[in-house]
Structure 1
Amino acid sequence: MATTFKALNLTPILLQNLQKLNYSTPTPIQESAIPLLLQGQDVAGHAETGSGKTAAFGLPLLQTIKPELQQVQALILVPTRELAVQVRQELKQYAKGITNLKISAFYGGHSFSQERASLAHPPQLLVATPGRLTDHLNRRTLDVSFVKKLVLDEADKLLEMGFEEEIDQIMEALPAKRQVILFSATMPQEVKDLIADSLKNPQFVKASASAIPDQLLLKGVKAEQAQKQETIVALLKTAITGGTVVFCNTRAAVDDLTIALQQNGIAARALHGGMEQPDRDKMMTLFRNGTTQVLVATDVAARGLDIDLLETIVHYELPDDLAAYQHRSGRTGRAGKKGTVYTLATPRDERKLRDWDQVRMDEWLKADGLLQKATIASAPQTAAFATITINAGRKDKLSPRDIVGALIAETGLTHAEIGKIEVQDRSSFVAVPQAQAKTVAEKLSNGKIKGRKFRVHVVK
């Protein structure tokens, strides 16, 4: 087996980008899938969260499409909006420097008219949720006659969410001669049937036997139900630093816990399916740039949450099944990085964990010990950064470089003081020092970016 990306026969530009991203050696799924996909074979991958599957299908797609042909040539179907955005971002990182290449993401909650307008210059790679894609097909706004490759990502979730009809409709609309690539974290009968119906002579590849990567440290916290809230406050104040996602099972539990954490001086934010899409996007942006260090979320965030700053997962409530536990846990420790997973367990939860005999626990902590520590610990520090938002983005021809230049010229910030910048279609978000955020927003609002005035304010 190959041990380097170079040995997988990838082009120099892709190898260069992988090097910049510190991807040193291929993961098992990349090693197995990339050669088969470059040969044009249909592939069915049993790949769990954190196995590196986006690069496994993404690199061969980027290597084999034709940037000079401005038509949709590869379609990637994903179950959720969050995953669509994440996959697009990852592909863009791998594709840096490939000229004339456009990668788009289409999904519900996003403006349909904007998507339709962008199809005047179609992307070569399109990441989409099935509902939104069939919407475009029904309205005849999308030409799929040039599509040579179809990826079904997280196929188990696509079927679980009831997208079977949409997948059938999309398959029917595509040219008969195509390469089909399917990845799934689990292999229930429905997924096996989909593989049998949709892939020709598929080559099967498997990532690993366990969905929880070895490099993850798993810690259990024994706590009675009535102690759980004060226990997690103690845990966040004493044992955890860096980006953390706390998982609850319901929207109501997320909202309640977020308020409780905020009342205890922890800068937590909520993320769940009951929120409007722009609000969910905003929470993800604040988490990505380090302004928010604790996200309290339902499983809607367990898919499509791939963030470098994510170091810790906390299971505040145990999910119903082992697969969901593995998915949540696998949001950290991705692509070989280290991560820690805490599980708050009542005696009943401990029994459930024992029934899931695949869950190892490296260490058990006691709630009482944490609570004792917390009483002598100092109050948590507030985030070093706050986020300002500018009411202009890519569509206004704004780039991160323009924003940095304006911040230095108008506000007196140095390059080193400016945090992560995210330029979206119609808005931009910048992490700036917390203590100066208000002043920076005012000065930038009164000043100019690229010779133009824009509204700027601090994100609350």
Structure 2
Amino acid sequence: MATFNDLNLHPALLQSLQDLNYTIPTPIQESAIPLLLHGQDVAGQAETGSGKTGAFGLPLLQSINPDLQQVQAIVVVPTRELAVQVRQELKQFGKMIKNLKVSAFYGGHSFSQERASLSHPPQLLVGTPGRLTDHLNRRTLDLSHVTQVVLDEADKLLEMGFEEELDQILSNLPHKRQTILFSATMPDDVKELIANSLKNPQFVKASANAIPDQVKLVGIKVDHEKRKETVGQLLQSINPVGTVVFTNTRIAADELAAQLQEQGFAARALHGGMEQKDRDKAMTLFRNGTTQVLVATDIAARGLDIDKLQNIIHYELPIDAAAYLHRSGRTGRAGKSGTVYTLATPRDEKQLRDWEQVRMDEWLSADKLTAKAAENKTPAVAAFATLYISGGRKDKISPRDIVGALIAEAGLKAEQIGKIEVQDRMSFVAVPEAQSKSIAAKLSEGRIKGRKYKIQLVKD
């Protein structure tokens, strides 16, 4: 079995991988990285969670010139959430590379801030098609130095209707370049995109099954009109922390999240009808454990990569088996266990049988679930609340600074402090919910790295 040391990666990248406790490449990384380092065009079939960001990201980082302050590689992704996630992963991989700048451009983000940042361009740019073409149309983005382009989740890019934007982006790139494409599925339109955009591509493929073996799949037989009631009973019968419930519509997500809140669960909706700041807030609170349950449409299925995601619940079946696998594959990452629950009406049961690649390990009746819920009548209360801090990376604040301030100013112990997220101009930290008001008050009176910042509890 190969290790990252066998893949001829630069010492700076190997050091970052070691710090992240990544020692053995995933199958898609082992297949793709040598080809990409040799400059070949690659078309890869791989699910989110297979390690594909590392598969294309490590060769990109190895190939750029950090002393040249120009956009040298772009990664095109279908959603804002994925743009933010890919940028963060690339920054982690490249943290030992001096003068490296990685940016993400996407709708809902300040265009003027993006334009200003291009006065000192990133070497690596991650972006959504609409925002990238917006920059091209306004002549604010220079792609003349780009030598590598990645089309990530190509099936989703085409499914969302970005074909014209992709054509425009590719036509603005130098003819001599390396083109990389990753897609979870390979329908005809993706194959056509490969034929038109890649030169003598090498094909690599990860396992077709998006659901890891260590994930348990449980079917719950339910009448259509009792689905909402059944979700509440299911969450009451398990530890609800780290659960994503998938719905097919925004209305269903909002209604179900509201009902779960009434039942005492820390639940939030996530869908494309929300403002970007509200979507970011929902994701932040879910990642750090303040929100137990995220009720989401399929916008979250692509690129949702959360360490502590324990349970997936299919409130409604998606349109096809591929979408079901995408949703279900969000749990059981990196060898961890997880459970996927599927609420199934008699009609849904027939559909699941028709999807041959979908297995079901166990079936439960609604009556059995009701009995389980009765044994555990009190939903688990979220252990954390989240503090907002009005300073971030641009203010030279690091997670270590926040930990130090919470220990010095609020008297916390390091093990009491939850997940910390430091963004450009703001930060978020999870703290014990029972002490959260006192902690916020003490931190407001104190200082972080010698400066006072606005501190407040994040509320609905």
AA aligned to 2:419 is K
Superposed counterparts of 1:45-444, under 5 Å: 45-444=44-443
CA apart distance, 1:241: 4.7
CA apart distance, 1:202: 0.4
Contact (CA 8 Å) 2:48, 2:303: kept in 1 or not? Answer: no
CA apart distance, 1:170: 0.9
In 2: Cα distance, 1:234 partner to 1:147 partner: 53
- Partner-residue secondary structure (3-state), 2:310: strand
Contact (CA 8 Å) 1:50, 1:333: kept in 2 or not? Answer: no
CA apart distance, 1:433: 0.7
- Partner-residue secondary structure (3-state), 1:398: coil
Contact (CA 8 Å) 1:237, 1:374: kept in 2 or not? Answer: yes
In 1: Cα distance, 2:122 partner to 2:335 partner: 31
* Aligned position for 1:35: 34
Q: Deviations over 1:404-434 (max 9, x none)?
A: 2222222222222221111112211010110
- Partner-residue secondary structure (3-state), 1:169: helix
Q: Deviations over 1:232-264 (max 9, x none)?
A: 112112224541100011111111111111111
In 1: Cα distance, 2:397 partner to 2:47 partner: 37
In 2: Cα distance, 1:225 partner to 1:145 partner: 55
Q: Deviations over 1:173-206 (max 9, x none)?
A: 1111100000011111111111111000000111
Contact (CA 8 Å) 1:27, 1:335: kept in 2 or not? Answer: no
- Partner-residue secondary structure (3-state), 1:344: strand
AA aligned to 2:95 is K
In 1: Cα distance, 2:109 partner to 2:121 partner: 17
AA aligned to 1:370 is L
* Aligned position for 2:444: 445
TM-score after normalising by structure 1: 0.97
Question: Which region of structure 1 is more displaced relative to structure 2, 194-203 or 17-26?
Answer: 17-26
Q: Deviations over 1:112-169 (max 9, x none)?
A: 1111111121111110001101111111111211110000000011111111111111
Percent identity for Structure 1 against Structure 2: 74
Contact (CA 8 Å) 1:52, 1:335: kept in 2 or not? Answer: no
Is the alpha carbon distance of 1:406 and 1:209 closer, same or farther for their aligned partners in structure 2, counting shifts above 3 Å?
closer
In 2: Cα distance, 1:381 partner to 1:195 partner: 48
Contact (CA 8 Å) 1:92, 1:103: kept in 2 or not? Answer: yes
Question: Which region of structure 1 is more displaced relative to structure 2, 124-133 or 421-430?
Answer: 421-430
Contact (CA 8 Å) 1:72, 1:146: kept in 2 or not? Answer: yes
Question: Which region of structure 1 is more displaced relative to structure 2, 370-379 or 28-37?
Answer: 370-379
In 2: Cα distance, 1:288 partner to 1:240 partner: 16
In 2: Cα distance, 1:381 partner to 1:28 partner: 38
Q: Deviations over 1:78-113 (max 9, x none)?
A: 000000011111112212222111111100000011
In 2: Cα distance, 1:255 partner to 1:140 partner: 39
Alignment length (residue pairs) = 459
Q: Deviations over 1:23-70 (max 9, x none)?
A: 232222111111100100000011123221111111111111111211
AA aligned to 1:93 is Q
AA aligned to 2:234 is L
In 1: Cα distance, 2:366 partner to 2:418 partner: 36
Contact (CA 8 Å) 2:7, 2:33: kept in 1 or not? Answer: yes
In 1: Cα distance, 2:396 partner to 2:239 partner: 40
C-alpha RMSD over aligned residues: 1.4
AA aligned to 1:7 is D
TM-score after normalising by structure 2: 0.97
